[in-house]
Structure 1
């Protein structure tokens, strides 16, 4: 019993250290992208739960919306990798502005395709 309590305390302290390190060492730009990543995950989960519990009547609308959430998450994850200062060795030759411009263009193309798919 004491061993289980000790493990829970260790997990709690590790999570607290992780949270403190994230808030102190992560740049504001990365935090904003992380918030967008969480938003896209929540959006996809809500769409999936709605489709399974309520109805999937316009199935192509569900596919378009869920696919858009997944693709938006992927685009944002790539943007986060390219903007992160710790990845300068790999993406240092590209500017942050170019990475953001590519993110915007990809999202515009994605939403154009999704709109056409819905009908």
Structure 2
């Protein structure tokens, strides 16, 4: 049976990628704190929400453009704010954020999200 070279290449790459992803997942489970895992789950949810909005825009259209734009900007900005929170809460970055406590970082995150969503609701009209 003849196998196309591209199929052979893909099978070899998959055989190399699977152990790397398995080790990455195992190390993530062992070394990441529960606070960071919760933030990562939130960021994953936001990422998939943004992808879903973009696919919906491509398939259906952007008729109420303000609604699409405000929703998409909200997801992107929420992702950025969550990544900033993750950097500040991560214990490996304590040397860079010595003046910011974990509680202060979370309060800043909540305040920035409040301002963001007030702007989004105002943009909707």
Specify the TM-score bucket, using the shorter chain as the normaliser: over 0.9
Select the residue among 12, 15, 37 that pairs with 1:9.
15
Q: Does 1:34 align with 2:67?
A: no
Secondary structure of 1:89's counterpart equals coil
Task: Indicate the structure (1 or 2) with the bigger Cα radius of gyration.
Answer: 2
Select the residue among 45, 50, 53 that pairs with 2:51.
45
Q: State the TM-score, normalizing by the size of structure 1.
A: 0.92
Is the alpha carbon distance of 1:4 and 1:48 closer, same or farther for their aligned partners in structure 2, counting shifts above 3 Å?
closer
Which 4+ stretches in 1 moved above 4 angstroms? 1-7
Is the alpha carbon distance of 1:8 and 1:54 closer, same or farther for their aligned partners in structure 2, counting shifts above 3 Å?
closer
Deviations 1:77-116 (A, max 9, x none): 0000000000011012210000000000000000000000
Q: Which runs of no fewer than 5 residues in structure 1 stay unpaired?
A: none
RMSD: 1.8
> Equivalent residue for 1:24?
30
Q: State the TM-score, normalizing by the size of structure 2.
A: 0.88
Q: Higher helix proportion, which one?
A: 1
